[in-house]
Chains A and B, each alone.
Chain A
Amino acid sequence: QTHIADEGKVKPLSHPRCYSAFLSFAGVSCNSVEKKIYVHLNYTVSCVRLLNATHQIGCQSSLSGNVGVLHVLESEENLDWVLHSGPNPPYMVILESPLFTRSVMMKLKNGSGRVAGVAVVAPNTNPAEGFSPHTTCPNENTGVYSETYEPTMANCNMTVWNPLGNGLSYEEFDFPIFSLKDDNDTQVIRQCYLDHNRAGNGSTPQYPLCAMQLYSHMSAVTDTATCMRRNAINFSLNPEMVCDPLGDQNVWASTRPLNNTAKGHKMWESVVIAAARLDSRSFFFDIAPGAQSGVSGFVTLLAAAHALRNATQEAQPNRTILYTFFQGETFDYIGSSRMVYDMENKQFVVDLDNVHSVLEIGQVGLRADSKLWLHTDPVSRRNESLNVTVDVPGFSQPLPPSSFQRFLRARPIPGVVLEDHQSAYTNKFYESMYDNAENLNVSYPPNLTPEEQLEYITDTARAVTEVATMVARALYRQAGGEESQLSSIKADPQIVTKMLYSFLVRSNNSWFQQLVPSDFTSYLGKPPNFYVGVVQQSSEPTLLVQYLLANLTGSTINITQDNCKNQREDESDKMYNYMWVQGAAPPNSTEREGYCVRSTARLSKALSPAFDLEQYTSKNFSTWTESRWKFIKGRIFLVASHELEMLTLGVGVGVLLSSLLVTYIISSKADILFSSGREPTNATY
């Protein structure tokens, strides 16, 4: 799948190069005036505009960038300088991370023109008290609890799932907000402020002042219906796409091969769905480490799938287990709503009548007291009796936000959601840029090489392995397998720790290099990012999970590379998916020996049904779109006072007028001044 990284996002023009080779020949060194004035920001991460059926959220800058005088905010009281008393508005506010709170941001939002933008310095370690820019009640309008289905449980009336949520990700700002790393470049910015802008002892700072300009102009506006309409207009002078729907692909695999070309109901097929979530988000664009909210869940499911590989091949249980990894769940359940929609419309390999039950793995990485909780839906449990022996939240509590809720919306299917929290989340950094390896306590002893770190089994890995073993055994029993086989099902901690390292620390390691095809290796170097992204751009984690799932649940097949890539084996090839991966290099050579992996791991489209049905104001489906932009960049420079600028302009205009006057005077007296005996001729035109 090609990576259209720059669709609609034009690279900024680099400043004109100095052809110093030519000039140095003449003994003159070359200097670029632009480099003397501007210092460009190297690391530009900003928040972008997202739209849904009713709102637009995120940040917007003006078309020519927002310019503001730098001010490093010292405390919340110091906001008074920015908002009221500072003499040089608009200001570009630099926030250290303890001040990046809802109260400060709301005051800046109401700054009415005095705030040109905000830059947040991201710390190197997570803050102690927790930070979650998501809402307190994730996905409250697209879950199963609504006015028609148990309104007492809707809108988090009973349990607030994300109490630390301050909702900043879902606010709308009319100035750009960038994120800076805490490194030397940011120190240059702080030093520029201290040198020029610091107001010392009651005196106002004098021009020239240090200023910053941030560009993050977003093309889309108002809501999804408007931007999709503007995408589709044909007769305008320059048709331009302004937004794209969010979406990607779901990954799924089955323990027993299913005929993927025959969609719809499969007779005699009873399926247990084991679900997990792939994606996450944060306040800033393309930063989503998603350790506890996404990685812990899907790594557990991958390990469980691996643990079940032998058991489901040798002693096949009655029911098929379908492993599903949903993308886009953060944004109103894009992946799971699409799969349920496909099942209802006979577009998927099975349909809802084939589904026996659902086991979903939520956030399981941070088990306090090593406890795990099974959440169920109290409404659908009223009519049935379940024998549950694992810990259940003792009182009648709704399901946490989970993909299973979308299945319940369609049909009352029995199911459970496995979480490590009894009621509110234990994750203090839900959907934020701090939900990383540090949040999961994944730490390695010092002085280990990257390859040693890959193999080192951390405590978190052991804990996740326990969960995976339990999940695998529960799935096997739920699928009707024999009890005698249960003790042989064990998850492998080595695999779990390698997966955690690859998805949380570094994906470019020897293990992943063996599992992926050769054209994918260039995508392995990037930091882990689980943001779902727009539908045209497939995200790397989805494909990585597919390759991993194929490797962990499939088998190696001895066929040629050509046959493998063209999916040809024998008459059973409709049931399987074939992938040619590059493999490892044998010890005495540098050429990798590739091989073919045969598995049932496939991708299915995860685009919200609202876009296929063109119901852009739908309340039932996700309608999230992401705006397009031309470029995102920033630079700092010294800015002169307004009076000096006006004076320069006035002098220039004065010189122009006086030169026109002198020219007119000279030309009207030309015959006196330049007497040369020639008669002036009158020409008529």
Chain B
Amino acid sequence: MNLERLPNEEKLSLCRKYYLGGFAFLPFLWLVNVVWFFREAFVKPAYTEQLQIKTYVKRSALGLLLWVAVLTTWITIFQHFRAEWGEVGDYLSFTIPLGIP
């Protein structure tokens, strides 16, 4: 979809939908929001809805950073300690590597 052809109200409603959708444990929607609307929010000359779009983009970026931090921490801990956790580690895993602890 080419954002150039949309009227500004529709851009705002699209940005809002993606922002609200990301709260359903879907951080990728926030990533898409940030990447897609970055130029609209910060590079383009000002228009009425741009302030709102800017807010949504900033909050999506914040949420995204939070998710990235949490997931990175959890993944690092899990990869490092899965072998030591024994039974719990095995029950948390989808694929258990063969031949190594």
Task: Tell me which of B2, B96, B100 contacts A230 (CB under 8 A).
Answer: B96
Q: Give the one of B86, B90, B95, B98 with max A CB within 10 A.
A: B98
A233 & B90 in contact (Cβ 8 Å cutoff): yes
Please list the 5 inter-chain residue pairs (A to B) with the smallest Cβ-Cβ separation, ordered nearest first: A219-B98, A237-B94, A221-B101, A218-B99, A237-B95
Task: Tell me which of A63, A220, A226, A236 contacts B86 (CB under 8 A).
Answer: A226
How extensive is the interface on chain A, given as a class?
A: 10 to 19
A238 & B95 in contact (Cβ 8 Å cutoff): yes
Closest to B87 in A: A229
Q: Which residues of A contact B99 (CB under 8 A)?
A: 60, 63, 217-221
B98 & A233 in contact (Cβ 8 Å cutoff): no
Q: Which residues of B contact A236 (CB under 8 A)?
A: 93-96
Q: Which residues of B contact A219 (CB under 8 A)?
A: 98-99
Q: How far is the CB of A638 from the nearest CB of chain B, in Å?
A: 28
For the complex with contacts A63-B99, A221-B100, A221-B101, 4 further pairs of A-B residues with Cβ separation under 8 Å are A218-B99, A220-B99, A236-B95, A684-B2
Interface string of A193-226 (1 = CB under 8 A from B): 0000000000000000000000001111110001
A391 on interface, CB distance cutoff 8 Å: no
Q: How far is the CB of A432 from the nearest CB of chain B, in Å?
A: 27
A667-685: which residues lie under 8 A (CB-CB) from chain B?
684
B101 & A222 in contact (Cβ 8 Å cutoff): yes
Query: Can you sample 9 A-B contacts with CB below 8 Å?
Result: A63-B98, A217-B99, A221-B99, A226-B101, A230-B96, A236-B95, A237-B95, A238-B95, A242-B98
| Alpha-carbon gap, A229 to B91, bound state (A) | 9
Q: Contacts A221-B100, A221-B101, A222-B101 given; indicate if A230 touches B95 (C-beta within 8 A).
A: no
Q: Which residues of B contact A74 (CB under 8 A)?
A: none
Task: Tell me which of A63, A217, A221, A233 contacts B91 (CB under 8 A).
Answer: A233
Q: Which residues of B contact A220 (CB under 8 A)?
A: 99
Q: How far is the CB of B81 from the nearest CB of chain A, in Å?
A: 15
Closest to A49 in B: B99
| Alpha-carbon gap, A221 to B96, bound state (A) | 11
Chain B interfacial residues counted at CB < 8 A = 13
| Alpha-carbon gap, A230 to B95, bound state (A) | 10
| Alpha-carbon gap, A682 to B91, bound state (A) | 56
List residues of B whose CB falls within 8 A of some A CB.
Answer: 2, 86-87, 90-91, 93-96, 98-101
A240 on interface, CB distance cutoff 8 Å: yes
Q: Give the one of B2, B87, B96, B101 with max A CB within 10 A.
A: B96
A230-251: which residues lie under 8 A (CB-CB) from chain B?
230, 233, 236-238, 240, 242
Q: Which residues of A contact B94 (CB under 8 A)?
A: 236-237
| Alpha-carbon gap, A238 to B2, bound state (A) | 42
List residues of A whose CB falls within 8 A of some B CB.
Answer: 60, 63, 217-222, 226, 229-230, 233, 236-238, 240, 242, 684
Q: Which residues of B contact A221 (CB under 8 A)?
A: 98-101
Closest to A240 in B: B98
Closest to B91 in A: A233
| Alpha-carbon gap, A222 to B82, bound state (A) | 13
| Alpha-carbon gap, A237 to B95, bound state (A) | 6
| Alpha-carbon gap, A412 to B60, bound state (A) | 77
B87 & A217 in contact (Cβ 8 Å cutoff): no
Q: Which residues of A contact B98 (CB under 8 A)?
A: 63, 217, 219, 221, 240, 242
| Alpha-carbon gap, A221 to B86, bound state (A) | 12
| Alpha-carbon gap, A226 to B91, bound state (A) | 11
Q: How far is the CB of B91 from the nearest CB of chain A, in Å?
A: 7
Q: How far is the CB of A682 from the nearest CB of chain B, in Å?
A: 14
Q: Which residues of A contact B96 (CB under 8 A)?
A: 230, 233, 236
| Alpha-carbon gap, A218 to B87, bound state (A) | 20
Closest to B95 in A: A237
| Alpha-carbon gap, A218 to B99, bound state (A) | 5
Closest to B98 in A: A219
| Alpha-carbon gap, A330 to B93, bound state (A) | 36
Q: How far is the CB of A467 from the nearest CB of chain B, in Å?
A: 46
Closest to A628 in B: B98
Q: How far is the CB of B93 from the nearest CB of chain A, in Å?
A: 7
| Alpha-carbon gap, A236 to B89, bound state (A) | 12
Q: Give the one of B2, B86, B94, B99 with max A CB within 10 A.
A: B99
| Alpha-carbon gap, A63 to B100, bound state (A) | 10
| Alpha-carbon gap, A218 to B100, bound state (A) | 9
Q: How far is the CB of A637 from the nearest CB of chain B, in Å?
A: 24
Q: Which residues of B contact A229 (CB under 8 A)?
A: 87, 90
Q: How far is the CB of A631 from the nearest CB of chain B, in Å?
A: 13
Q: How far is the CB of A88 from the nearest CB of chain B, in Å?
A: 26
| Alpha-carbon gap, A229 to B99, bound state (A) | 14
Closest to B94 in A: A237
Q: How far is the CB of A61 from the nearest CB of chain B, in Å?
A: 9
Q: Which residues of A contact B101 (CB under 8 A)?
A: 221-222, 226
| Alpha-carbon gap, A60 to B98, bound state (A) | 11
Q: How far is the CB of A8 from the nearest CB of chain B, in Å?
A: 11
Closest to B96 in A: A230
Closest to A220 in B: B99
| Alpha-carbon gap, A142 to B100, bound state (A) | 29
